[in-house]
Amino acid sequence: MRYMALLLIAVVMAAPAVAQGASLSVIVVDQGGRPVEDAVVTLAGDTPTPRTAATTYTIDQKQLTFLPFVQVLRPGDSVVFRNSDRTRHHVYSFSTTRAFEFVLAPGQSSTPLALPTAGVAAVGCNIHDGMINYLYVTAAQAVRTDARGIADFSGLHAGRVEVSVWQPRLPPGHPEGVRQATLDLSAGDARTLHVVLRLRPDPRRPSDHERMRY
């Protein structure tokens, strides 16, 4: 028994160390150097996409604003639209990814809406034109930038990675984003990529008076 224990220890000590995954931070700013929130950074190439179970996300409507502005999903995920305002909303999309509409009274939520195919669905409110939301459905590994304009990836495999960035305020002609760089990652790498996007003005501008009313 003692011999077997010693043999097991020897085998463990002789085992090769597991390669450490690479990490990548993508920092996105606009043409004025300001951090860009709600940009979707996607990776393609040698790094596989982690498998995850289908998830249901909630898109809130509060003070005439969809929260979040951009939601990243995988094919098969679902969304629920919730009305937290004191007025009715008519949520709709004509997108080929998934066309739908919900009329939601104050405090009401929609039934779960499944999104089976990749693509970008632009969502609006048929009553309040300034309300806009985007559902970005992709099978690729994707992260949405935070308020600092940063998207962090960890546990990436060594190999070649193509980095693309999409944001709703990009000029027309970039439905899937703009390819920014191709990187060769090694095990244990910690890389940072800086991206500058030329963006159109933000269309979501309800007045303070409108926000207070709702």
* Contact between 26 and 150 (Cβ < 8 Å): yes
Residue 3 has pLDDT above 80, yes or no: no
| C-alpha to C-alpha distance for 110 and 31, rounded to whole angstroms | 38
Predicted confidence band at 205 (pLDDT cuts at 50, 70, 90)? low
51-139: same fold as 20-49+141-214? yes
Specify the fold of 20-49+141-214. Answer: Immunoglobulin-like (2.60.40)
Phi–psi pair at 117, nearest 5 degrees: -120, 155
- Which residues does 14 contact at the CB level (< 8 Å), separation at least 6? none
Domain boundaries, the chain: 20-49+141-214, 51-139
Give me the architecture of the 51-139 domain, per CATH: Sandwich (2.60)
pLDDT of residue 51: 76
pLDDT tens digits for range 100-112: 999 999 999 999 9
Four-residue CA torsion sign, 190, 196, 199, 203: positive
pLDDT tens digits for range 136-148: 999 999 999 999 9
Tokens of 109: 């939520």
Residue type, 31: Q
Q: What is the DSSP string of 105-145?
A: -TT-BPPPEE--S-EEEEEEESS-TT-EEEEEE-SSEEEE-
